[in-house]
């Protein structure tokens, strides 16, 4: 009986340590990357119909799918949400994490972007 209790305690400890490590990795900034996009409101999709339907995207009423560039100028399609229609032509820096995707964005000036990214956009 005592052996089963110690085995149970050992399993719980291993699970707690494993969950702690996973949580630290999942929420860490270490694996974050930055991508830069330019807003094109022709590529916006409204995701919240106001007719009593529950919005599964939280307060994100709009979805953008744009070409984003990393600091080396490598491009990829990125989808992210916004609570409002964003300013046409604005440059954004997106924080992108593995699994979670875009976790935050902020508007930046053209001059603040890496040179390899500036080459992809008109100044």
pLDDT per residue over 26-85, tens digit each? 555 445 799 999 999 999 888 865 554 444 545 678 899 999 999 999 999 999 988 889
Q: Is residue 114 part of a domain?
A: yes
Total tally of structural domains belonging to the chain: 2
Up-side HSE of residue 56: CA atoms within 13 Å toward CB? Answer: 0
63 and 103 housed in the same domain: yes
Mean of pLDDT values over 82-101:
91
Q: Is residue 123 part of a domain?
A: no
pLDDT per residue over 8-41, tens digit each? 777 778 877 777 656 555 555 445 799 999 999 9
Gap between the Cα atoms of 68 and 21, Å rounded: 30
Query: Which residues lie below 8 Å from residue 89, measured CB to CB, with a gap of 6+?
Result: 38, 39
Q: Is residue 57 part of a domain?
A: yes
23 and 35 housed in the same domain: no
Question: 17: which 2 tokens?
Answer: 């340590």
- Does the predicted TM-score (pTM) go above 0.85? no
Enclosing domain of residue 20: 1-30
Gap between the Cα atoms of 10 and 87, Å rounded: 55
72 and 24 housed in the same domain: no
Percent of the chain that is helix, strand, coil (3-state, to 5): 30, 35, 40
105 and 85 housed in the same domain: yes
């Amino acid at each position: 009986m005592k052996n089963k209790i110690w085995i149970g305690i050992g399993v719980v400890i291993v699970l707690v340590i494993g969950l702690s490590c996973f949580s630290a990795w999942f929420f860490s900034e270490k694996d974050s990357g930055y991508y830069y996009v330019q807003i094109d409101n022709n590529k916006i999709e409204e995701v919240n119909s106001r007719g009593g339907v529950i919005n599964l995207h939280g307060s994100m009423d709009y979805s953008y799918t744009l070409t984003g560039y990393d600091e080396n100028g490598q491009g990829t399609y990125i989808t992210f949400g916004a609570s409002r229609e964003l300013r046409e032509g604005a440059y954004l820096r997106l924080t992108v994490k593995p699994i979670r995707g875009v976790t935050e964005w902020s508007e930046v000036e053209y001059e603040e972007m890496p040179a390899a990214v500036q080459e992809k956009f008109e100044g």
